[in-house]
Amino acid sequence: MRKALILPTKYVQGEDELLNLGYFVSTFGKSALLIASQEDVERVRPQLEATAEKFDVSFIEGGFNGEVTREETKRLQAVATEKQTDCIIGLGGGKAIDASKVVAEGEHLIIVPTIAAQDAPTSHSAVLYHEDGSFDDYAYFKQSPSVVLVDTKVIAKAPTRFLVAGMGDALSTYFEARATHHSYSRVNASLPMGTREGVTPPAVGTYAALALAKLCWDHLREDGLRAKIACDANVVTEALNKIVETNILLSGLGFESGGLAAAHAIHNGMTALHGAHSYLHGEKVAFATIAQLVLENADQSELEEVLDFCYSVNLPITLAELGVENITFEEAMEVAKIACIPEESIHSMPFPIIVEDVANAIIVADKIGQEYHSKH
């Protein structure tokens, strides 16, 4: 049986760590193409200027239009070629990070997340979109980023909603990895859109990845609420440190090498619910995790633990909290049909998937959340 564990070369996290960015650039050369929104650059410009001076490197600001399209990434690649930069930096949220992965193509890449809202920074994959924001394709690269650099002071000063959304994404990690482990499903390179050059063949998850995924859930229960409170106050505590590592590193390794299952597929199906479009990825994944637990008829005590955690940090447990006041069976079926297309990760669940069962699980998960709220 073929197994694989995919990892970034270096992961570094700490207060004021952005001041060391210039050192990592210097390991590749003298200059870096900086891919980030103007707003994110201005947020950390003092640190960028200080580290550039200290380590005698330069940042070439490529600009970023906010969408990971083929046209935008080709433009940025042309800038890197013209300026002869020695490495690529993706700084900011998920879109800038994914754009930098596409531009770097697996070589000399430094990722600097300024929020801890999702677990993409450590992975070797990215999502491409069309200009209108609709999905285009998945992109996979021969290796994960060379460096993932996380400044916890920067994370603590970002809106708390992003940290909480990251907890919602991390929440699903163990339950999806567990399902994939039980079904011996292939993970970390399912390649739904066809063969990708330079990508190793799919493998099943390792015990190490499953253990990391389980640690996500342990950390969330232990310190999720305390980390939220620290972020509300814009300060760094050990609880915040633990949850930042959980959201970015543990969940990133856990999902990529442990596998995805129903929760992320149901999240993808929720694109059919227009009211939910403005909500963050992790907020929708939290509700979808509850739906997965209903689908697999998880122990009541486990379901209650998840509900308690979500409620404590203000993650959605009902569709109304995601902008969908009511859902009909027909609407739930539309979500389920998208979630159950042959390429989706829901087929990593350790039992046959029936579209109507998924629709029913979504409806019941919403009712369970409503009942929970009525008691609290």
Q: How far is CA 1 from the centre of its chain?
A: 28
Q: Is 169 a catalytic residue?
A: yes
Q: Is 281 annotated as a binding residue?
A: yes
Is 97 among the annotated ligand-binding positions? yes
95 is in an annotated binding site: yes
Note if 277 is an active site residue.
Answer: no
Candidate list 40, 223, 264, 366, residue with the active-site label? 264
Q: How far apart are CA 359 and CA 291, in angstroms?
A: 9
The annotation status of 40 as a binding-site residue, yes or no, is no
Q: Indicate if 274 belongs to the active site.
A: no
181 is catalytic: no
124 appears as a binding residue in the annotation: no
Rounded CA separation 300/306 (Å): 10
CA distance 290 to 367: 11
Catalytic residue, candidates 108, 181, 219, 281: 281
Residue 264 labeled ligand binder: yes
Query: Please, which residues bridge with residue 135 across strands?
Result: 129
* 169 in a labelled binding site: yes
Measured in whole angstroms, how far is the alpha carbon of residue 153 from the centre of its chain? 20
Q: Which entry of 86, 169, 223, 366 is annotated as an active-site residue? A: 169
Q: Is 129 annotated as a binding residue?
A: yes
Does 183 count as an annotated binding residue? no
Residue 218, marked binder: no
Ligand-binding site membership of 132 (annotated): no
Binding-site members are: 94-98, 119, 123, 129, 169, 264, 281
Q: Would you please indicate which residues are annotated as catalytic (active-site) residues?
A: 169, 264, 267, 281
Binding residues for NAD(+): 94-98, 123, 129
Binding site for glycerol, residues? 119, 169, 264, 281
